Amino acid sequence: MLELNDKLVIGVSSRALFDLEAENKIFEEEGLEAYSAYQIEHEKDILKPGTAFPLVKALQKLNSDGRYLTEIVIMSKNSADTSLRIFNSIEHYKLNISRAALVGGGDIHPYLESFKTDLFLSANEADVQEAINANFAAGIICRHDELPIDPSGEIGQIRIAFDGDAVIFSDESERIYKEKGLEAFAEHEQVNARKALPEGPFAKFLKTISLIQQQFPQDAVPIRTALVTARSAPTHERVILTLRAWNVRIDEVFFLGGMKKSDVLKAFGAHIFFDDQAVYTDPASKVVPSARVPYKQN
């Protein structure tokens, strides 16, 4: 019997994996019946890749050498009847995805634990918010017409980039910055430099990636990670010591001190970038696939 406990499990919505913006517009403007009729009528038409497509395609490389390290699960509000177009497109692109949770308009978040989900990606903000509230790593896919997605493009090393505060780490320090300003933030981080930052919504996901990295020789690691943060010296020390305390590997770290992140992300070649602020994800989404991480609501 297949067990998912020791796999990197990614739950992805159909609108994150494929470009379903026109179909979603039909749903919003004309209702479920019109949407269902359209999908059934066009179920032989292959969908274009969406924002999460490069990451999904890249992650499946983890299973290419006989190892079985990752599982991709379609998690969709579609019903079984309207999902055939999605599975026809999956087959067309030769994506190895055989599992799905099709909730027929219901809530997705109750099933994240059932599938042992490490990361959930969706274009539906409410679904992502519910996942974050339930303590799962989740991101709202940021779609942008300027971002070219080539379904036939060669995948080298899998590249995943993260912001720090409110993503890998908790939003504790970021709240101080927002409430009291940069000087108070810097002072707080210097005073607490030797105290590990609390875990944020993506801490467990990052640790799982680090465990996968440790299974490979240094010159053959299939995943490369980057921390791309607005922090700068002297607030860098606490970040470095926290990652050391977690025994987590980050391959590249960029302390940008408020510089725009998109140029660095493009040079890094991220298959996905996670940040909590639209001021960073909006421009980044023009050059690399990006997802915004909402704050947890108590």
Residue 39 belongs to domain with CATH number: 3.40.50
- CATH at 264: 3.40.50.1000
Give SS3 for 181: coil
Structure confidence at residue 249 (pLDDT): 85
Q: Do 268 and 199 share a structural domain?
A: yes
Say which residues have a Cβ less than 8 Å from residue 198's Cβ, sequence separation at least 6: 169, 170, 172
Phi, psi of 145 (to 5 degrees): -65, -25
Mark whether 169 and 287 lie in a shared domain. Answer: yes
Calculate ∠ Cα 178-167-129, nearest 5°: 95
The answer to whether 227 touches 162, Cβ cutoff 8 Å, is yes
266 and 201 share a domain? yes
Shared domain for 189 and 272, answered yes or no, is: yes
Of 105, 140, 175, which closes a domain?
Answer: 140
DSSP conformational letter for 134? T
**Domain span holding position 241:** 158-292
Is 163 among the residues known to form the active site?
A: yes
Please check whether residue 108 lies inside any domain of the structure: yes
The owner of tokens 């108070």 is 184
- Which pTM value belongs to this model? 0.92
Which pLDDT does position 152 carry in this prediction? Answer: 64
Does residue 118 sit in the same domain as residue 25? yes
Q: What is the pLDDT of residue 1?
A: 46
- Output the DSSP codes for 13-80: -HHHHB--HHHHHHHHHH-HHHHHHHHHHTTTSPPPB-TTHHHHHHHGGGGTTS---EEEEEEES--T
8 A C-beta contact, residue 274 and residue 118: no
Coil/strand/helix, residue 141: strand
Instruction: Please tell me whether residues 17 and 136 are part of one structural domain.
Output: yes
Question: Which residue in 163, 171, 275, 276 is the catalytic one?
Answer: 163
pLDDT string in tens for the chain (298-residue length): 467 777 899 999 999 999 999 988 998 899 888 888 999 999 999 999 999 999 999 998 888 777 889 999 999 988 888 889 999 999 999 998 989 999 988 899 999 999 999 999 999 999 999 999 999 999 999 988 777 777 766 677 899 999 999 999 998 888 888 888 878 888 888 888 889 999 999 999 999 999 999 988 988 899 999 999 988 888 889 999 999 999 998 999 999 988 899 999 999 999 999 999 999 999 999 999 999 999 988 7
